[in-house]
Structure 1
Amino acid sequence: MILSAGTRKLILSIPFARETANLYVNGSNTLFYKKLNKVMHYSERIAELRGAKLGKRCFIVGSGPSLTIDQLEAIKDEDCFGANRIYKMFTKTNWRPKYYVIQDKYDSTVAIYENLDVEHLFVSDFYWKEHGMRNSRAICYHINRTLRQTSDLPFSEDCSKFVQAASTVTYTMIQLACYMGYKEIYLIGMDHTYANVTNDKGVIIKKSNIKSHAFEDEQPNEVVANISYMEEAYRTAKKYCESHGITIYNATNGGALEIFSRCDFTSICNLL
């Protein structure tokens, strides 16, 4: 069921509503994925990617307003992850992500996703259950949600079993990148700035003169970011990567994400 931002806010104002909703989502998604996977064997396809890129580097491309076409052109031959509506940049560049991730069930542009021509198309059961997917390249992955916002956030070491969700698809892409064996992960377009932000209690704060994405949002009020939860996820990812010999660099031009070490995108390009 697709709910408006206002309805989600109302639900979250009810005591234990988030915990109850997430418990229900986890249960229904588990049953859905078990049934789908029994026929399509998606977990086996994901398992084939484990360690396949051992020691290599990749780029995780966000859709923040700092992202430019020149940046995308500079990394068009690199292994890249992209997500959700990054396809809106395709008409302006030859760049395409090797790995495309669709997670947000509130993104209803199904027809476009069903015709995406990318090497690997990862679609969460959260999205698939709501909209379905007929793209032959699609691989459904199972996501797990914590019952409430927590600093003790799981980080999946086996994405063939589940991927941990945490208010940002970037966390999913980092887990997948680590699972595949990438040792250097560069983030670009991760401005970490949004026009509408919320806390875990559903209180929404609107900020003026802030653009959330590099492209225009048809329904900008539906884009509501839980900044604190995102940052918990990023800190968990950083801790995991540091303990496993993986480095995440933030090569975004500006922005507000300071959890990862900064590096200059131009300097990286000179080494490509």
Structure 2
Amino acid sequence: MANKLHPIKSIEVRTQSYVLNHFEKSKYAKRLRMLKDTHLGEMCFIIGNGPSLSADDLEVLRKNNVLSFGFNRIFLMFDKTNWRPDFYVSQDEKMLFNCQEDVNNLEINAKFIPLINKYFHNIDIKDALYFNMHSSIQGVPVFSDSVDSYIGKSNTVAFSAAQIAVYMGFKKIYLLGVDHNFAVYQNDKGEIINDKSVKDYFTDEYNKDKENLYIPNLDASTRAFISMKKYCDEHGIEVYNATRGGKLEVFPRVDFDMIF
């Protein structure tokens, strides 16, 4: 039986390899291509899951009909607000694997998931829009404006969401709840830093399985945000940080309460 199955497995592996190397020709790219410039000139919010994120602020977005991107375990906020993100993005296979059922049950316009998670980690999300990821060049994440070809890989999912937002035509992007700070993180030297005074997320339930999750590298995330700012500045896209506090200083700060 094993010998009979081996050729089939080999064909599957070759097919997956071809799709990843020629993603722009795939059915997945065709679905992504339908989103090109669908929100040309509009404004959106990219919602992080930091401790500064509040249900009250999300309610303001809901009442003003602002389009938004949410990530990972943002659904843990849903019992506190009627707000829901319009778009969902998750690329961390460890986190996705542990909350796959919750993500499948999300009623959201579009869920963006890396195709490698389906191919190599057996994470098959219902109605997902699968995208391809490319690694950074010499440690610098590449900001892609052709997500039907690839999305530049980085340590922060906000970077991926921003590429999708730009592809969809958004010209003004606000970050909210992107605290860019963790109780336990690492730097480029591989050093682990502990700061017990810091909360990781808006709820302690968020990373109850943190022993099985990646330790964030804030140096790498900062480089991603710098790459994002460079691209957006060069292409007339405004990006502002409306987070209440936090340590992300790459983008100009704005007072969330003054936006509306």
TM bucket, shorter chain: 0.7 to 0.9
For residue 232 of structure 2, what is the aligned residue in structure 1? Answer: 241
**Are 1:177 and 2:165 matched, yes or no?**
yes
User: What amino acid is the match of 1:173?
Assistant: A
Deviations 1:134-168 (A, max 9, x none): 41x21111111237523xx3111200011011100
Deviations 1:34-53 (A, max 9, x none): 49979971111111111111
Q: Displacement, 1:131?
A: 3.2
Q: Does the Cα contact within 8 Å between 1:61 and 1:80 map onto a contact in 2?
A: yes
C-alpha spacing 1:182/1:38, structure 2 compared with 1 (3 Å): closer
Matched residue SS, 1:261 = coil
Q: Displacement, 1:105?
A: 0.5
Matched residue SS, 1:75 = helix
For residue 177 of structure 2, what is the aligned residue in structure 1? Answer: 189
Larger radius of gyration: 2
2:255 to 238, 252, 264: 264
Matched residue SS, 1:249 = strand
Taking the aligned partners of 1:28 and 1:264, their CA distance within structure 2 comes to: 51
Q: Does the Cα contact within 8 Å between 2:19 and 2:26 map onto a contact in 1?
A: no
Q: Displacement, 1:122?
A: 0.7
Taking the aligned partners of 1:178 and 1:29, their CA distance within structure 2 comes to: 30
Q: Does the Cα contact within 8 Å between 1:32 and 1:125 map onto a contact in 2?
A: no
1:62 to 48, 60, 64: 48
Is 120-129 or 156-165 further displaced after alignment? 120-129
Q: Displacement, 1:249?
A: 0.4
Taking the aligned partners of 2:44 and 2:252, their CA distance within structure 1 comes to: 16
Q: Does the Cα contact within 8 Å between 1:72 and 1:93 map onto a contact in 2?
A: yes
**Residue segments in structure 1 that go unaligned for 5+ positions in a row:** 1-26
For residue 139 of structure 1, what is the aligned residue in structure 2? Answer: 129
Deviations 1:65-120 (A, max 9, x none): 00000011111221100111111111211111111001100112111111111001
Runs of 4+ in 1 over 6 A off after TM superposition: 27-30, 35-40
For residue 242 of structure 2, what is the aligned residue in structure 1? Answer: 251
**Residue segments in structure 2 that go unaligned for 5+ positions in a row:** 1-12
Taking the aligned partners of 1:206 and 1:188, their CA distance within structure 2 comes to: 24
Scaled by the length of structure 1, the TM-score of the pair is 0.82
Q: Displacement, 1:208?
A: 1.4
Root mean square deviation, CA, Å: 2.4
Q: Displacement, 1:202?
A: 3.1
2:91 to 96, 100, 103: 103
User: What amino acid is the match of 2:230?
Assistant: K
Matched residue SS, 1:262 = coil
User: What amino acid is the match of 2:181?
Assistant: T
Say how many residue pairs are matched: 240
User: What amino acid is the match of 2:254?
Assistant: C
C-alpha spacing 1:102/1:29, structure 2 compared with 1 (3 Å): farther
Q: Does the Cα contact within 8 Å between 2:91 and 2:114 map onto a contact in 1?
A: yes
User: What amino acid is the match of 1:268?
Assistant: I
Scaled by the length of structure 2, the TM-score of the pair is 0.85
User: What amino acid is the match of 1:220?
Assistant: K
